[in-house]
Structure 1
Amino acid sequence: MTFLRQPTRAGVRDAAAKLAAILPATPLFTCDLKGVTVAFKAESLQPIGAFKIRGAWHRLTALDDAARGRGVVAFSSGNHAQGIAWAARKLGIAATIVMPHDAPPVKRDATLALGAEVVGYDRATESREQIAARLAEARGATLVPSFDDPWIIEGQGSAGIEAAAQMARAGLPAPTLVVVPCGGGGLAAGLALALPDARITVVEPEGWDDMRRSLEASWIEPVDPNPPPTACDSLQTQRVSALTFDVLSRRDAQGVAVSESETAAAQRWAAERLRLVIEPGGAVALAALLAGRVAPEPGMLVLLSGGNVDPAAYARVLAG
C-alpha cells in the first residue's frame, strides 16, 4: 500500500489529543524487579481490551464525510477488528472485518456485538489482504490495515505520550527503554515516534520473529515457511510493512523472541502480581523481561498490549 505521507511525531501528538478527548488514560502500574522500578502500561484495560482502539479512532476520524458514507474494510484476528468496529459504531460508519475462521471466538463475538460484518477466511490457504482489498474496491470503501498505515501507527503511538506523562507524574525517570509486543510493528513504530529519546525492543513469539530478523538483516525478512503454532494469535504476521520497518530501523530498534512457556509464565505473573488478565500476544514483552531477554533498568516501560483471552485456554494457563 502506498501513502502520500509518512507517520510523524506531530501526528502522534494529534492522535493523543483525539484519544484524550474521548477516553481516560489506561492505568500505569509499577513493580520492583531486581531493585529496579519498572512501569507497565495496561492497554488491556481499554474498552475493547487492547491498544488497537487508538489507531482505529485516529484513522476513522481522519476520513471525510464521503469516505465515511462508503464504509471501511479491515482484516484482523480480533483486536484490530474490535478497534475498527468500536470506532465505526461511534462514528456511524459501516465496518466489514475479514477475520480467520480460527480466530478466538471471544474476539469474533465481540466484533459482531459491536455491529461489524465479519467475513471469514482460511488463514492457511487464503490471503486476508487480497480478500479485504477486493471487498473495499467492490464497495468503494476505505481499506484500513492493522499496521501498514500512517494514521494507525500514529494512533498506536499515543500510548507512549500517555505513558511518559504518567511516569513523570509518578516521579519516575523519563522512558529510556520501551519493551513492546510486535506483530506487524504498528505499536512499536508509533512508540518510537512518540518517545524519540527511548530505545525500542520489540518482542515476538519464537518462529514468528520476522521483525527481529528484519532489523538484524537491515531488510525485510518474512516469516519462514511452516512457522510453529503459537498461542499469540494477534502476533501472527507473515511479513512486516515497509512503513513500520523503516521507522524502527531508523531508530536502531532491537528484537528478541520468547517461547510459548515463557509467554504463559508471564500471563500467570501478570495475574498474580498486577491482578491483570493479559492475552498471550499482549504478554510477550513482559515475558522477555521475566525470562531475562532484557534486563530491568530505570525508565523501563513495558507494554501489556491486550487482554482478550479465550476463557478455557486462559484457565489452562493459570493452572500451569
Structure 2
Amino acid sequence: MSAIPDLSSISEAHERVSPFIHRTPVFSCKSLNAVAGANLYFKCENFQKIGAFKARGGMNAVLSLSAAERSKGVATHSSGNHAQAVALAARENGIPAFIVMPSNSAEVKKAAVLGYGAELIECEPTLQAREDTLQRVIEETGAILIHPYDDYRIIEGQATAAKELIEDTDVIFDYLLAPVGGGGLLSGTSLAAHYLSPTTSVIGCEPAGADDAYRSFKSGELIPQTNPTTIADGLRTSLGKKPFEIIKKYVGDIVLAEDKEIIAGMQMIWERMKIIIESSSAVPFAALLKNKDRFQGKNVGIIISGGNVDVNKLPF
C-alpha cells in the first residue's frame, strides 16, 4: 500500500479485522467530567485483544499479506503492545513470528509474546539496536517485516478505533485526543475524524520526556527521538515518516504532559473508573487536565490505548 489510506481502505480494514478483534466499549464518568469541566468519552482499548489498540493494526497488516508472504512468517520490533499484536495475528494465521524486544521491556509484555507462541529476541534498549537486530533476524529467517507504525496497513488498522468511537457515540466531538509515540494511532485517528467527523479537531498527546512528535510538529521537520525519559514506555519510540506526513496535514495540535501529571491521571482513572490502564494511556487525560481551559464544556473523545501494566510495579 503506497498511498495515504482513504475512507474505503479504512472501512475495508475494519471489515477485515472485525472477526479477530473486540469492538471495545465507550465509557463516560461523571466524576471525571466534573474534574475536567468537559464531557469525556473514553474509547477503552484496554479491553481489546492483547490489551491494546495495536491488535487492530497488527492483524490488518498480517491479513493484508499474500499467502506466499505469510508462509515466510513475520518479524517486527516493539517494546510490547505491537509485539503482542503481531504475535497474536501470526498465531491466528498459523505462521511463525519473530519479535525483537528491548531488554527493558515490561516482563508482562515479554511473557505475553511468548504465550502467543512467537520467538522472542532481546536487544539493547536503543532504536538502533532494535533496527539492527530486526534486520539480522529478517536476513536469517526471510520473514516479512511488519513495522510497528511506519506502514499504511498499520495506520488504517489503528484508524478503526476512532471510527468505532465516532460511530458508537451520539455526540459530535469537538476534540479527539490520542497518545503519540510512533504515530500510528494518532495518524489513523486523524484520518478517521477527517473522513467521518470533519468538524472534530484531533490533538496528539505526548510525554514531555519523549517529545519528538511535539518538536517535529512545531518545526515541520521530522526530528528523531533521542534518549527518551518517561514512565510512558509505549511512547518512547521515534515518530515514523508516514504517520508524520498525515499528522502534519490532519492533526490540529500536539500537547505535552509531565510524568508526575501522567501518573496522577493514571491513578485517577484507576480509582474513579475502576479500570486498568497503562501509563501511556493516561497521557491524553493528563494533557487535558493540564489544558482545562481549552476543553471547557466541550465533547472530548479520548483513546485509552491499552491496559498492559505490571501491577507489581505501579507508579502510585
The corresponding residue for 2:58 is: 56
The corresponding residue for 1:216 is: 218
Letter matched to residue 193 of structure 2: L
Bigger shift: residues 37-46 or 15-24: 15-24
Following the alignment from structure 2 to structure 1, what is the Cα–Cα distance between the partners of residues 109 and 213?
25
> Is the 8 Å Cα contact of residues 21 and 55 (structure 2) preserved in structure 1?
no
SS in 2 for 1:203: strand
Q: Specify whether residues 185 and 166 from structure 1 end up closer, same or farther in structure 2 by C-alpha distance, changes over 3 A only.
A: same
Q: Specify whether residues 79 and 90 from structure 1 end up closer, same or farther in structure 2 by C-alpha distance, changes over 3 A only.
A: same
> Is the 8 Å Cα contact of residues 178 and 201 (structure 1) preserved in structure 2?
yes
Letter matched to residue 279 of structure 1: E
Following the alignment from structure 1 to structure 2, what is the Cα–Cα distance between the partners of residues 186 and 166?
22
Bigger shift: residues 123-132 or 176-185: 123-132
> Is the 8 Å Cα contact of residues 28 and 39 (structure 1) preserved in structure 2?
yes
The corresponding residue for 1:276 is: 275
> Is the 8 Å Cα contact of residues 206 and 283 (structure 2) preserved in structure 1?
yes
> Is the 8 Å Cα contact of residues 38 and 297 (structure 1) preserved in structure 2?
no
Bigger shift: residues 117-126 or 60-69: 117-126
Bigger shift: residues 271-280 or 121-130: 121-130
Following the alignment from structure 1 to structure 2, what is the Cα–Cα distance between the partners of residues 296 and 48?
34
In the alignment of these two chains, the number of paired residues is 307
Letter matched to residue 141 of structure 2: R
Q: Deviations over 1:98-132 (max 9, x none)?
A: 00011000000011001010100001485212221
The corresponding residue for 2:310 is: 310
Bigger shift: residues 127-136 or 115-124: 127-136
Bigger shift: residues 301-310 or 119-128: 119-128
Shift of 1:174: 2.2
> Is the 8 Å Cα contact of residues 11 and 151 (structure 1) preserved in structure 2?
no
Letter matched to residue 47 of structure 1: K
Identity %: 35
The structure richer in helix per residue is: 2
Q: Deviations over 1:195-254 (max 9, x none)?
A: 11121111111121111111111111223x444x321111111x3122101101011431
Q: Specify whether residues 122 and 18 from structure 1 end up closer, same or farther in structure 2 by C-alpha distance, changes over 3 A only.
A: same
> Is the 8 Å Cα contact of residues 73 and 96 (structure 2) preserved in structure 1?
yes
Q: Specify whether residues 131 and 58 from structure 1 end up closer, same or farther in structure 2 by C-alpha distance, changes over 3 A only.
A: same
SS in 2 for 1:215: helix
Q: What are the residue-to-residue correspondences of 1:288-307 with 2, within 5 Å?
A: 288-292=287-291, 295-307=295-307
The corresponding residue for 1:186 is: 184
Shift of 1:303: 0.9
Following the alignment from structure 2 to structure 1, what is the Cα–Cα distance between the partners of residues 289 and 127?
36
> Is the 8 Å Cα contact of residues 71 and 142 (structure 1) preserved in structure 2?
yes
Q: What are the residue-to-residue correspondences of 1:110-125 with 2, within 5 Å?
A: 110-124=112-126
The corresponding residue for 2:139 is: 137
Q: What are the residue-to-residue correspondences of 1:30-45 with 2, within 5 Å?
A: 30-32=28-30, 33-34=33-34, 35-45=37-47
1:174 corresponds to which of 172, 186, 190: 172
| Alignment pair present for 1:25 and 2:23 | yes
Q: Deviations over 1:246-265 (max 9, x none)?
A: 10101143111111111111
TM-score by length of 2: 0.92
Q: Specify whether residues 36 and 226 from structure 1 end up closer, same or farther in structure 2 by C-alpha distance, changes over 3 A only.
A: closer
Following the alignment from structure 2 to structure 1, what is the Cα–Cα distance between the partners of residues 279 and 14?
26
Shift of 1:175: 2.5
Following the alignment from structure 1 to structure 2, what is the Cα–Cα distance between the partners of residues 288 and 103?
25
SS in 1 for 2:298: coil
Following the alignment from structure 1 to structure 2, what is the Cα–Cα distance between the partners of residues 209 and 90?
35
Q: Specify whether residues 87 and 296 from structure 1 end up closer, same or farther in structure 2 by C-alpha distance, changes over 3 A only.
A: farther
Q: Which runs of 5+ in 1 are unaligned?
A: none
Q: Which runs of 5+ in 2 are unaligned?
A: none
Q: How much is the aligned-residue C-alpha RMSD, in angstroms?
A: 1.7
Q: Deviations over 1:155-195 (max 9, x none)?
A: 00000111111112xxxx22331111110110000011111
Following the alignment from structure 1 to structure 2, what is the Cα–Cα distance between the partners of residues 251 and 161?
15
Following the alignment from structure 2 to structure 1, what is the Cα–Cα distance between the partners of residues 169 and 151?
28
